[in-house]
Amino acid sequence: MKKLPVIIDCDPGHDDAIALIAALASEKLEVLGVTAAAGNQTVDKTEKNARKVLEICARTDIPVAKGRGKPLWNPLSVAPEIHGDSGMDGPVLPEPSMPVCREPAAALMARLVEESPEPVALIVTGPCTNTAVFLLSYPHLWKKIAKISVMGGGAFEGNRTALAEFNIWTDPEAARIVLESGIPVEIYGLDVTHKALIYREEFALFREREGMVFQFLADLLDFFGGTYLEARKFPGAPMHDSCAVIGLTNPELFTYVETDMSVETESPRSRGALTMDLRPAAGKKPSVCGKIALDVDREKFLQVLLGACETITRQRREKGYAS
């Protein structure tokens, strides 16, 4: 099977880590590189967390590059109340030993896209800062971007403010550049990611399985589920970021609506809100830039994540790593 080449622009981040695992395990995707954004924590921390995840997955061959230290315009405002001081609190992991790329994130993206014989999909699971810098700096490469899959926003709800979701709220200008680029986009916002929930009583499905990857997932879920219970009274852990990956590998699990989308950057009360037109005839407008997922088959989604851990566990064994 021909694999879709992807670059993952992320801010790990518990759910980013799970998204990376889902992407690395998929036989439909080839992960060319990982770029780290400032978001859940500072970029020094998210970049280090990305390398830790690649090391657990025995994929130290994949380059990791560090992006900008702050959003295009906003000051950086990190989220320790959800992801802890390290950005990925919970699992106890050694310091990563694989090197970080010398190129900055946007330059790595450009090189990987240029070198790829096939168009590349970008998966963005943090603020869109690096992706926007890449798009603005390398306009001649837009034609080689197949699509951009983004975890961000929400049609009907926000989490950082009443109207704005964290990733888009962190860097609204960057998200707007992505959405108005004309490159096809897929949006996985809070409407669907809050439905992609792993309930607390299901965490045992990971904990009871042998192997480092299952235990890592269980540790992530314990911490992330804990902060979501405390901060937001959630009955489990929302798998925000893996929606943007599994939407590419298993679109049949999602229900989508086509629409034009952008981001509000002017009004102080709604800055960072994802804007769209969900009226029935709106999908026919020439300004339609992509689709937004509004529903997901939660049980099948959970099975995909369990299968991903199984695959990485097997790959680790095949490479001679301890289970």
Kindly list the residues in this chain that would bind ligand BDR in the complex (CB under 6 A): 13, 15-16, 40, 79, 82, 125-126, 151, 159, 165-167, 240-241
Instruction: Work out the number of other CB atoms within 10 angstroms of the CB of residue 95.
Output: 8
189 binds Ca ion (CB under 5 A): no
Instruction: List the beta bridge partners of residue 188.
Output: 151, 293
- Residue 155 Cα distances to 22, 257, 294, angstroms: 25, 11, 8
Q: Which does 82 bind (CB under 5 to 8 A by kind): Ca ion, ligand BDR, none?
A: ligand BDR
Of 5, 7, 8, 16, the residue at the interface with Ca ion (CB under 5 A) is: 16
Residue with tokens 């045992």: 204
- Say whether 57 sits in a helix, a strand or coil: coil
Is 194 part of the annotated catalytic residue set?
no
CA distances from 45 to 74, 192, 299 (A): 19, 28, 32
Q: Is 126 near Ca ion (CB under 5 A)?
A: yes
Within 231-290, the residues that bind Ca ion by CB under 5 A are: 241
Hey, which residues does 261 pair with through a beta bridge? 276
Q: Which of residues 127-166 bind Ca ion (CB under 5 A)?
A: none
The end-to-end CA distance of the chain, in Å, is: 28
Which residue of the set 14, 83, 194, 240 is catalytic? 240
Nearer to Ca ion, 181 or 193 (CB): 193
Please identify which residue in 41, 46, 86, 125 interacts with Ca ion, judged by CB under 5 A.
Answer: 125
- 13 vs 71, beta carbon nearer ligand BDR: 13
Q: What is the largest CA-CA distance in the chain?
A: 55
Residues 6+ apart with CB under 8 A from 208: none
Smallest gap from Cβ 302 to ligand BDR, in A, equals 18
Q: Which does 9 bind (CB under 5 to 8 A by kind): Ca ion, ligand BDR, none?
A: none
Q: Which is nearer to ligand BDR, 82 or 213 (CB)?
A: 82
The SS3 call for residue 240 is helix
* Residue with nearest beta carbon to ligand BDR: 166
Q: With respect to Ca ion, which residue has the nearer C-beta, 59 or 83?
A: 83
- Cβ burial 10-48 (10 Å sphere, 16+ → b, else e): bbbbbbbbbbbbbbbbbeebbbbbbbbbbbbbbbebbbb
Question: Which one of ligand BDR, Ca ion, none interacts with residue 159, CB within 5 to 8 A by kind?
Answer: ligand BDR
| One residue of 13, 33, 87, 247 binding Ca ion per CB under 5 A | 13
Residue (of 265, 319, 10) closest to 151 by Cα position: 10
From Ca ion, ligand BDR, none, interface partner of 172 (C-beta below 5 to 8 A by class): none
With vertex at residue 38, the alpha carbon angle to CA 66 and CA 120, rounded to the nearest 5 degrees, is 60
Closest approach of ligand BDR to the CB of residue 196, in Å: 11
Query: Least separation, in Å, of the C-beta of 174 and ligand BDR?
Result: 14
Active site residues: 240
Residues that bind Ca ion (CB under 5 A): 11, 13, 16, 125-126, 241
